[in-house]
Structure 1
Amino acid sequence: MSKSDFGLFGLGVMGKSLSRNLAQKGFKISLFNRHVDEVEVDVAKNFKAEYQELKNALAFDNVEEFVASLASPRKIMLMVNAGKTIDIVIDNLLPYLSENDIIIDGGNSNYKKTKERFDYLQTKGIQFIGTGVSGGEEGALKGPSIMPSGTKEAYNNVSQFLETIAARDKNNLPCCTYIGPEGSGQFIKMVHNGIEYVEMQLLAEVATILKHKGKNPNEIAETLDSFKDDANSYLLEITADIFRKKEGDSWLVNLILDKAGNKGTGNWATITSAELGVPNTLIASALFSRYISFYKEHRVQFHKEYIKKSVSRLNLADDDLLKAYQFVRIINHYQGFKLIQEASEKFNWNLNLSEIARIWTNGCIIRSSLMEELVSIFKETNTILIHSKISKMIIDCKPSIKRVVSDCVLSDVTTPALSEALQFFNGITTQHSSANIIQAQRDYFGAHKYQRIDDASGKFYHTNWV
């Protein structure tokens, strides 16, 4: 039996799609899925039999046989649930691996755990690559955005597989690149998902405003379609599709319970922002909006208690709404890439923001026309808000977002992302903030000291305030 080029461990939705993608590209692969009596039986064999492109694949439910089927150095991609499962799988694989074999974690693992696994496997002579994979089931099959990190040597050994199955940018280059050391690939996937949280929340708010303008779901879809010429994105496209979908005579979106779930990456991004001291207020706002949504019973109770009149119809112009939407998206991307930049500097990762933006132009959930613009903008500056093209857009859009936010506040329409983007921008452009008062308060009750604007030496002072 000839050896396989590449192994896929775990045949969930993403694992199956990546397997088919690899096989369609001509790679000989080995497939593994665990055996659980009466629950998961012959999963790999049945999956192989289902698709013609997998006819040359090898299917296993025995770990030792799976590892033995792979050519050295073995390349095994794990597509299993993040967390303890990854460590259990690694321990199961280790007895059968040899020096310089490569394990790739393709799940949404925490970047800190990726660093721990990287260091642990180095002591065993095994290479470890943590890689973000974005695009969902369809992207995994047709071409995802892939964000691998680890040693450059390990990446070079797997690059032909990952780059071949990745999506292609407008120049036909793979939306896959070597990100950097340790857990940097999983870090930027975490930030990717944080940006995604905000984009989804923003579109939900825009649709809510359109509803309060009196538009039905089909008209909301038409308005979102009209945004595409100026601010197109994958999420904008699918949101328009969602509002067109009917089930019988009813629009499906109106039948869906308003409790939003999450799988942890938005939580991690918010915690990491706090740990690094980066004011990523929009990701936090989008995350907490999901948490608020989950308190459905409380929301119903509080609505009855406090809301005594129906929301008045909004009379905002669609053009104002479009410009407000563009404003928030710029702030969202500024905050997301600022988090990446700060992490790169703190951890000495030397990340290339332009290259990260490039691999996010196709295949991934946050691909957009704005992301394509950022590829060239990040070649000129790491701070997009000072780029002339972006600053002109911000100046042009700010009057609109002020109108949108103020009208929504007066009409009791909930718009956390729109509101927070405006507040953040006002804060980040305030030359003299109220923080001097906070410093005085801290010194008063805790003798934390403060610096003075009339002393350039940086000396710290303490005052007896009584």
Structure 2
Amino acid sequence: MADMTKNSSSEGLDIKKVAVIGCGSMGGGMALLFAEKGISVSLQDPSTEAMDIIIKQAKEEGFGDKISKHSDQKSLCESLDSPKVLIFSLPHGSVGDGVLSGLMPYLEKGDIIIDCGNEHWKNTERRQGKCVTRGIRYVGCGVSGGYQAARRGPSMCPGADDQTLDLVLPFLRKVAAKDPQGRPCVGKAGTGGAGHYVKMIHNGIEHGMMSAISEAWGIMRTGLGMSEDDIGEVLEKWNSKGELEGTFLVKIGADICRTKDPKTGERVLDTVEDKVVQDITGEEGTGIWSNEEAVGEHIPAPTLSSAHYFRLASADRAQRARAQKAFGGDFPAQKLDIQDKDKFLEDLRVATYTACLAAYVQGINVIDRKNREVHWNIDFTEVLQIWRAGCIIQADYIASLLEPIFAEYRSKDTMNLLFEKTVASDLKKGQPALKRVVVQAVLGDHVIPAISNSLDYIKYQTGLELPTQFYEAELDYFGKHMYDKKGEDPEGAPTTGKYHFEWKKA
């Protein structure tokens, strides 16, 4: 039986047995991680081969006795303690519903499901509602860091009621990534679907950061004519100090630039096609959902959305090839006319950081708006700790910048990071570098959606004389949508205007 044991701050379960349902790269990695930590793991997956691979690897690593496989849900549940603890690592959507329905006859009051898939938060809350009537606890737990982190310790973002989270946190702390101070990168994200929601926005931020870093790589490779080894050296330097220090995506970028296939000697990056297809193939839903949320919550998030459109355009290479044929060619990136390469590389570093910070700002603003709408009681200090290590958007400098802000979130009327002087100062300092990089990139026909949109974001989010003045007049002209008069709207709230002018009689 799973024992009740005292945790440092709360009472939790001493979980000794878990089921892992879904043995793909993430589920398989977590199963091995749990077993390595001394937890007995019962596997279930439609693929016997997938389960056998995990069991074989466990035996090779010396803990094969900790993993068993099960072909049906009855025997799976019988292999567990009471309360039963089951980990989902499943594709988003209907698969989870089917698995939950199949388990229901074998679940009892007090049993716990921890859904570690990239699930949509609405599905999570619907399943929580279905389970609560049976007394079953359902945790929506975002997991980040990729399959390597799933094996060695991922960042974990659980959402549920406090009592349920108190029960499972000792287990999650045992297996989660640890920051440089040894603190686990897991905590109470909030109630309801907060865990999956925060992870969803994490992925939106991730896509914005990846786009900016990829755009910088393209500028270095083609615009500056640098070798991959030289680019790897630059990325390593960026990751070692300054504003991009400890940024996971920059760190792995250096590895990617340098890696060669030991069998062929060929640089692996040179063999990779320019297609990001996960949104279209259905493997990944969070990029789509995070942008839908930004639009639905009326939060400008152009770094995130431009990165997403860039991914979509890249995915369908056949469409791009057909369009190129219709155009009679394309607009290939050119070598840039740069007089001082070192100075430009510093501008590029600052511009990349500023775009990454803008992605963070936009993502946090979406989370804050949603939290105020649905009252999840999101703990922003816990969210920052969850993102400290083991996750894709790990960025040590940004985390240090945000730490004092997040520590006071309870006393703030908003978590809009554009209102924070330290964040505003960094964005302001980055604006000239962004501008110089954008000018050179545009002249050289480089594709820079995240970087250029971050520049525009800073300008229009701080401007009080926008060309939308003309936009509003046109809306009033043909649609009688009303407008406010200059000087008569000191608060500037997003409300319907008081005036209409009869520009042309109907």
Paired residue secondary structure (1:55): helix
Contact 2:85/2:114 (CA < 8 Å) preserved in 1? yes
Shift of 1:343: 0.9
Given candidates 223, 230, 240, the residue that maps to 1:219 is 230
Q: TM-score, normalised by structure 2?
A: 0.86
Given candidates 405, 418, 424, the residue that maps to 1:385 is 418
Verify: 1:333 aligned to 2:354, yes or no: no
Verify: 1:312 aligned to 2:335, yes or no: yes
Verify: 1:30 aligned to 2:42, yes or no: yes
Verify: 1:296 aligned to 2:317, yes or no: yes
Contact 2:228/2:258 (CA < 8 Å) preserved in 1? yes
In 2: Cα distance, 1:52 partner to 1:348 partner:
46
User: Where in structure 2 are the equivalents of 1:94-243 lying within 5 Å?
Assistant: 94-211=104-221, 212-228=223-239, 229-230=241-242, 231-232=244-245, 233-243=247-257
In 2: Cα distance, 1:392 partner to 1:40 partner:
50
Aligned to 1:253: 269
Q: TM-score, normalised by structure 1?
A: 0.93
Shift of 1:165: 0.3
**1:39-69, Cα deviation, whole Å (9 max, x unpaired):** 6686776565454224144432221011112
Aligned partner letter, 2:257: F
Aligned partner letter, 1:101: D
Aligned partner letter, 1:260: V
For residues 309 and 157 of structure 1, do their structure 2 counterparts lie closer, same or farther at Cα, with a shift above 3 Å needed? closer
Shift of 1:30: 2.7
* Unaligned residue ranges in structure 2 (runs of 5+): 3-14, 279-283, 410-414
Verify: 1:78 aligned to 2:94, yes or no: no
Aligned partner letter, 1:213: L
Aligned to 1:427: 460
Q: Which moved more, 1:140-149 or 1:41-50?
A: 41-50
Aligned partner letter, 1:235: L
Aligned partner letter, 1:177: G
Aligned partner letter, 1:404: V
Contact 1:147/1:189 (CA < 8 Å) preserved in 2? yes
Contact 1:4/1:30 (CA < 8 Å) preserved in 2? no
* Unaligned residue ranges in structure 1 (runs of 5+): none
Q: Which moved more, 1:341-350 or 1:163-172?
A: 163-172
For residues 255 and 100 of structure 1, do their structure 2 counterparts lie closer, same or farther at Cα, with a shift above 3 Å needed? same
For residues 319 and 155 of structure 1, do their structure 2 counterparts lie closer, same or farther at Cα, with a shift above 3 Å needed? same
**1:212-262, Cα deviation, whole Å (9 max, x unpaired):** 201111111111122121112111011111111224454221221111122
For residues 32 and 312 of structure 1, do their structure 2 counterparts lie closer, same or farther at Cα, with a shift above 3 Å needed? closer
Verify: 1:370 aligned to 2:397, yes or no: yes
In 2: Cα distance, 1:246 partner to 1:104 partner:
39
**1:262-291, Cα deviation, whole Å (9 max, x unpaired):** 222111111111111111111111111011
In 2: Cα distance, 1:397 partner to 1:41 partner:
49
Contact 1:361/1:368 (CA < 8 Å) preserved in 2? yes
In 1: Cα distance, 2:164 partner to 2:369 partner:
26
Contact 2:113/2:137 (CA < 8 Å) preserved in 1? yes
Contact 2:55/2:67 (CA < 8 Å) preserved in 1? no
Identity among equivalent positions (%) equals: 29
Aligned partner letter, 1:16: G
For residues 160 and 337 of structure 1, do their structure 2 counterparts lie closer, same or farther at Cα, with a shift above 3 Å needed? same
Aligned to 2:258: 244
Verify: 1:18 aligned to 2:30, yes or no: yes
Equivalent residue pairs, number: 464
For residues 66 and 397 of structure 1, do their structure 2 counterparts lie closer, same or farther at Cα, with a shift above 3 Å needed? same
Verify: 1:287 aligned to 2:287, yes or no: no
Aligned partner letter, 2:298: G
Paired residue secondary structure (1:176): coil
In 2: Cα distance, 1:385 partner to 1:429 partner:
9
For residues 295 and 45 of structure 1, do their structure 2 counterparts lie closer, same or farther at Cα, with a shift above 3 Å needed? closer
**1:163-202, Cα deviation, whole Å (9 max, x unpaired):** 1100112332211111111111000111111111111111
Paired residue secondary structure (1:452): coil
For residues 174 and 34 of structure 1, do their structure 2 counterparts lie closer, same or farther at Cα, with a shift above 3 Å needed? same
Shift of 1:140: 1.3
Aligned partner letter, 1:181: T
In 2: Cα distance, 1:308 partner to 1:181 partner:
49
Q: Which moved more, 1:86-95 or 1:379-388?
A: 379-388
For residues 40 and 416 of structure 1, do their structure 2 counterparts lie closer, same or farther at Cα, with a shift above 3 Å needed? closer
Contact 2:156/2:186 (CA < 8 Å) preserved in 1? yes
Greater relative contact order structure (CA < 8 Å, 6+ sep): 2
Verify: 1:439 aligned to 2:477, yes or no: no
